[in-house]
């Protein structure tokens, strides 16, 4: 009897102790996939026209600037974008047209006014930096929700906002240039306030932080993003100078014809 | 004297850098506002809590300083280029060139735009014993045209650059507008060597993936080639320029008569191109009727002179571009009738060989990692109905390359470009370094090597190995 009693006490104690110890690390009670899908489905407008500046800061504090006008539209849940550079002067008029495809094999053209030609370029390597910034092509495009496994990590306050924090790990090697990413999603509006990107060796690589989230024409808009390359100690500050949503962009804009028309939208 | 000129050039370079450093500084004042630093958050400000706002206005009101170039909409560049011949010989040349280009685009309405660009140039070329001392200042219209859009039709009317072909530096289909070879390949890109011509260009876009282009160049403009006695005077021109016939009274020099075609509409160039963009590939098919841009020379013994010729030609061709994985593949080919080839028959040198030729280029590019770029092209030329006594080879092929490695987030680029003929010893290669002093000021330095036979494309310039320095301010 005593033997069974003692055994029961030990068993209950172990269970209780396990419960107490694991209580602090209990998985949070939210569905990370659901949060990710709500963030993905957030209203971004049918289309958008925005002027953006990018300030590039190297480890010595030296600064360089890029200025772009960006046109984006959403078709069949995919984004087509046309980005045209207006500064610096030597790349003024350079334009990049990206037509996103559901199979990930996007079509991309670049127009180089100095060479007076349009060129089709590879989109296979999405780790390539976008004009020397800390954004790569994967950062610039809309990722596919089902390419990742989601795991809730915790709920915490970040920048005065209650956030869901979850981890997204690519399901297959080729689905992402990152080993994994951790996202901070603002609970009330499902806006990504912060993301940390890890390289393939799961070493912290980059950090993106949203700045100044505002409602623009009924759509929550991050007026800026600070992207830090923690390995190279290089930072890019992307700032929206102005934004217009649902402007009724025509199909013609997202064509090679318009790519070579350097004055559009200025 | 030479040292003085070098010192003067260097002083100008420094002055130029200082002057435009100031302009760049002024331009910087109009950049967007800096974000205040805040310790503990990656050095940047914490974002403000969400707030509702109906719209965000363009930031004009934030402007504090006036950026002249932005305000006026005038853009362009100022570039100084210096070349020093490095062959250890008494006739080393020195070449100092400055170009200022200012351009303005005026948007009349959504469908009409005007563009004008002006060039101011100052050249100082000291050919030493090999050529004349040339000091030249020029002020000329570079481009001046109107863009007109009417529904599916885009037209450009006026003096304009026309650039055809998808391959990189050799474009067999791009044969009906001229190039400037007065300093051979000193200018880095083929696009920089193209000369604007008076033309009408119309593109009809049947839909987003199909278009037809029609071009009419009413007046013929020939390629510019190296001037008499200059370091870049082609070998063939030099031979005809220095032609003597024996006479009873001794050798008699036959003058070379440099000329062009009469400015008549019958020498107009016409070109048409069908362009198709598919999901995975772009291609085009083209035809053009035009005069030969390159001069060929014919001896008229009875008139005791050498006459420059530009026979009319037909060119039919095509090009394609695709991407396979990370490799960009491009190809271009053209069949041209009545290309002129040099006749070296001592008994019948008065005739030019007019033969059909087929030129093709196939190449690809690939980027390793972030910064190492490779571009390799294979080019070949076949001459049909080949005859003896033609200076050119029946079949020639060559490899062209462009390899560069970027450092410091593209601020520093180390590059090599070149062309090597496989069918004979003939080559050119350049090693260069480009450094961005700031967003708009670029410095480039490098060395060029030429080699091969005395009559080869590059071999004829093998005495022209040179070092160079370029400084370019864009605005």
Interface mutation vs chain A, best among B409, B412, B417, B438, most A CBs within 10 Å: B409
Does the pLDDT at position B313 exceed 80? Answer: yes
Nearest CA in chain A to B411: A132
To the nearest 10°, report the CA torsion of B83, B88, B92, B95.
Answer: 0
pLDDT at A265: 44
Contact call for residues A216 and A243 (beta carbons, < 8 A): yes
Strands (E), A135-258: 148-158, 161-170, 180-186, 191-198, 204-216, 219-229, 234-245
User: Is the torsion defined by CA of A61, A66, A70, A75 positive or negative?
Assistant: negative
pTM of the model: 0.82
- Nearest-by-CA chain A residue for B149: A261
Tell me which of A59, A116, A209, A265 to substitute to probe the interface with B (most B C-beta atoms closer than 10 Å): A116
Q: Of the candidates A192, A211, A216, which has an alpha carbon nearest to the alpha carbon of residue A49? A: A216
Q: Which CATH superfamily is domain A32-259 in?
A: Lipoprotein localisation LolA/LolB/LppX (2.50.20.10)
In angstroms and rounded to an integer, the radius of gyration of the C-alpha atoms of chain A is 23
CA A10 to each of CA A13, A17, A24, B174: distance values in angstroms, whole numbers, following the listed order = 5, 10, 22, 88
Test A90 with B55 for CB contact under 8 angstroms.
no
Give, as one character, the DSSP assignment of residue B62.
G
Q: Is the predicted pLDDT of residue B54 greater than 50, yes or no?
A: no
Of B113, B409, B474, the CB nearest to A56: B409
At residue A157, the pLDDT reads 95
SS3 content of chain B, % helix, strand, coil (to 5): 10, 50, 35
Got the DSSP string for A6-60?
A: HHHHHHHHHHHHHHHHHHTTPPPSS-HHHHHHHHHTS---SEEEEEEEEEEE-TT
Q: Which two tokens stand for residue B28?
A: 């910087």
Distance CA B389, CA B353 (A): 9
Interatomic CA distance for residues A125 and A103, integer angstroms: 15
Under DSSP, the state recorded for A136 is B
3-state class of A89 per DSSP?
helix
- Taking CB atoms and an 8 Å limit, are B57 and A242 in contact across chains? yes
C-alpha B174/C-alpha B334 separation (Å) is 9
pLDDT in tens, B351-407: 788 899 999 999 999 999 889 999 999 999 999 998 888 888 889 999 999 999 999
Cβ distance A87 to B474 less than 8 Å, yes or no, reads no
- CA–CA gap between residue B154 and residue A209 (Å, rounded): 43
ipTM of the prediction greater than 0.85, yes or no: no
Alpha-carbon span B66 to B72, nearest angstrom: 10
Radius of gyration of chain B (CA): 26
Model pLDDT, residue A15: 54
pLDDT in tens, B199-248: 999 999 999 899 999 999 999 999 999 888 888 999 888 888 777 777 77
C-alpha span between A44 and A87 (Å, rounded): 26
A221-226: average pLDDT:
94
Q: Does A16 have pLDDT greater than 80?
A: no
Residue B265 is classified by DSSP as G
Domain ranges of chain A: 32-259
Model confidence over B163-196: pLDDT tens digits?
999 998 899 999 999 999 999 988 878 888 999 9
């Amino acid at each position: 009897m005593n033997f069974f009693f003692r055994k029961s006490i030990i068993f209950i104690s172990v269970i209780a102790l396990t419960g107490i110890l694991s209580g602090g690390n209990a998985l949070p009670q939210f569905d990370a996939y659901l949060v990710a899908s709500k963030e993905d489905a957030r209203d971004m407008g049918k289309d958008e026209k925005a002027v953006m500046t990018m300030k590039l800061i190297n480890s010595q504090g030296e600064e360089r600037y890029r200025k772009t006008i960006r046109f984006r539209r959403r078709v069949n849940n995919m984004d087509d974008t046309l980005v045209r550079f207006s500064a610096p002067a030597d790349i003024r008029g350079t334009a990049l047209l990206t037509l996103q495809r559901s199979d990930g094999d996007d079509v991309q053209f670049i127009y180089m006014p100095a060479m007076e030609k349009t060129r089709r370029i590879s989109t296979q390597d999405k780790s390539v930096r976008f004009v020397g910034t800390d954004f790569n092509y994967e950062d610039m495009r809309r990722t596919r929700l089902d390419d990742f496994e989601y795991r809730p990590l915790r709920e915490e306050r970040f920048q005065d906002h209650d956030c869901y924090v979850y981890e997204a790990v690519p399901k297959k090697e080729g689905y992402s240039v990152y080993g994994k990413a951790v996202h901070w999603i603002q609970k009330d509006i499902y806006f990504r306030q912060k993301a940390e990107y890890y390289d393939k060796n799961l070493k912290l690589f980059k950090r993106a932080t949203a700045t100044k989230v505002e409602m623009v024409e009924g759509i929550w808009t991050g007026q800026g993003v600070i992207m830090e390359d923690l390995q190279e100690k290089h930072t890019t500050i992307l700032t929206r100078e102005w934004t217009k949503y649902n402007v009724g962009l025509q199909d013609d804009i997202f064509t090679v014809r318009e790519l070579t028309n350097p004055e559009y939208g200025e | 004297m030479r040292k003085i000129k070098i010192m003067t050039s260097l002083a100008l370079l420094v002055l130029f850098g200082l002057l435009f450093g100031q302009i760049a500084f002024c331009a910087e004042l109009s950049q967007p506002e800096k974000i205040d630093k805040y310790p503990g958050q990656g050095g940047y400000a914490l974002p403000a809590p969400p707030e509702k706002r109906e719209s965000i206005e363009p930031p004009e009101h934030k402007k504090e300083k006036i950026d002249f170039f932005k305000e006026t909409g005038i853009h362009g560049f100022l570039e100084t280029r210096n070349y020093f011949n490095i062959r250890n010989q008494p006739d080393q040349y020195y070449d100092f060139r400055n170009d200022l280009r200012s351009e303005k685009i005026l948007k009349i309405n959504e469908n009409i735009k005007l563009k004008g660009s002006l060039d101011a140039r100052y050249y100082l070329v000291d050919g030493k014993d090999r050529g004349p001392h040339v000091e030249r200042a020029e002020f000329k219209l570079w481009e001046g045209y109107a863009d007109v859009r009417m529904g599916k039709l885009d037209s450009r009317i006026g003096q304009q650059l026309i650039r055809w072909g998808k391959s990189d530096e050799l474009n067999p289909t791009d044969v009906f507008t001229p190039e400037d070879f007065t300093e051979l390949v000193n200018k880095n890109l083929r696009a920089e060597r193209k000369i604007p011509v008076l033309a009408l260009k119309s593109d009809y876009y049947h839909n987003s993936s199909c278009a037809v282009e029609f071009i009419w160049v009413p007046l013929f403009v020939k390629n510019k080639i190296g001037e008499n006695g200059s370091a870049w005077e082609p070998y063939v021109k030099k031979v005809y320029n220095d032609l003597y016939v024996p006479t009873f009274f001794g050798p008699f020099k036959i003058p070379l008569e440099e000329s062009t075609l009469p400015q008549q509409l019958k020498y107009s160039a016409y070109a048409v191109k069908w362009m198709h963009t598919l999901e995975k590939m772009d291609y085009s098919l083209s035809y053009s009727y035009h005069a030969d841009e390159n001069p060929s020379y014919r001896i008229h013994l009875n008139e005791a002179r050498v006459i420059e010729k530009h026979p009319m030609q037909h060119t039919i061709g095509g090009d394609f571009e695709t991407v396979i994985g990370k490799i960009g593949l491009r190809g271009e080919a053209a069949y041209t009738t009545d290309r002129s080839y040099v006749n070296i028959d001592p008994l019948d040198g008065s005739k030019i060989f007019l033969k059909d030729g087929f030129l093709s280029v196939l190449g690809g590019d690939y980027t390793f990692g972030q910064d190492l770029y490779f571009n390799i092209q294979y080019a070949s030329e076949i001459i049909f109905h080949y005859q003896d006594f033609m200076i050119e080879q029946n079949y020639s092929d060559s490899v062209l390359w462009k390899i560069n490695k970027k450092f410091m987030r593209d601020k520093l680029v180390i590059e090599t470009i070149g062309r090597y003929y496989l069918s004979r010893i003939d080559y050119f290669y350049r090693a260069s370094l480009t450094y961005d002093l700031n967003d708009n000021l670029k410095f480039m330095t490098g060395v060029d090597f030429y080699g091969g036979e005395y009559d080869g494309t590059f071999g004829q310039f093998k005495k022209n190995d040179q070092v160079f320095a370029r400084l370019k301010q864009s605005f």
